[in-house]
Structures are given as structure tokens and as C-alpha cells.
């Protein structure tokens, strides 16, 4: 659900450069097929790096690099268990954005 208190007051035209840059970075993070696939795999719950790599057509290294990027932008979170690291989607904003865009694509 949207935070009306925040959004009712903000005119996008007046956004500071820094905010625009951060938004751009976030969208850019979602703008890559490998990263979208990773997110899709995490949609139903957490997975280890190796599990993700097994389901993708890129190296473990590539997956790890991309996970770091997603982590730095708070798009995914991680927890360590022994020598494995489990990744998951960070919050519901991410699910929403993903879903809305999928809608935008599928409808029309």
C-alpha cells in the first residue's frame, strides 16, 4: 500500500538530483535480464547462490557479482548459514514494482 503522506506532497518535477540518481540506479538494477531472472527465482522464497547459478545460464561468479549489486541497492537481503548464503527479495516494494511492470508489459 502506498504511503500517501509521503507521495501526496512530492512533485516529481522538484526532485533533487541525488534522488533522481538513486532512482535511476534502482531502475538500472532491474534493467538486466540476469538480474530480473534472479529476482524471479527469489519471488517464491529465498535461495542460495549456488541454487541460483544452477538455474541460470551464467557463471557462479556472475551471479555473485549481480547479487552484490542488488544487495547494495537494498533490493535483496542475505543471511549466512554455514558456508552457504541465502538471498531473498528485500521488501514488498520490490514485488510491487516487479508486478506492475509485468502488467505494463502483458496488458496491450
CB–CB of 87/51 below 8 Å? no
Q: Which residues bind a copy of itself (CB under 8 A)?
A: 2-3, 6-7, 10-13, 15, 17, 19-33, 36-37, 39-41, 43-44, 74, 91, 93-94, 96-108
By C-beta, is 81 or 108 nearer to a copy of itself?
Answer: 108
* H/E element, 76: strand 76-81
Best CA proximity match to 50, nearest among 89, 95, 83? 83
Q: Would you call 103 exposed, middle or buried from its count of C-beta atoms within 10 A (0-12, 13-18, 19+)?
A: exposed
Instruction: Figure out which of the listed residues 60, 74, 99, 100 binds DNA, where binding follows CB under 7 A.
Output: 60
Q: CB of residue 61 vs DNA: minimum separation in angstroms?
A: 3
Contact footprint for DNA (CB under 7 A) = 28, 31-35, 48-51, 53, 58-62, 64-69, 78, 80, 82-85
Amino acid at each position: 500500500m502506498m504511503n500517501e503522506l509521503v507521495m501526496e506532497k512530492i512533485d516529481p518535477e522538484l526532485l533533487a538530483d541525488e534522488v533522481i540518481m538513486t532512482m535511476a540506479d534502482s531502475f538500472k538494477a532491474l534493467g538486466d535480464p540476469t538480474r530480473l531472472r534472479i529476482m524471479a527465482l527469489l519471488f517464491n522464497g529465498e535461495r542460495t547462490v549456488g541454487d541460483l547459478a544452477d538455474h541460470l545460464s551464467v557463471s557462479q561468479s556472475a551471479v555473485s557479482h549481480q547479487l552484490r549489486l542488488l544487495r547494495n541497492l537494498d533490493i535483496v537481503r542475505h543471511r549466512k548459514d554455514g558456508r552457504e548464503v541465502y538471498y531473498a527479495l528485500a521488501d514488498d516494494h520490490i514485488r510491487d514494482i516487479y508486478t506492475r511492470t509485468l502488467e505494463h508489459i502483458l496488458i496491450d
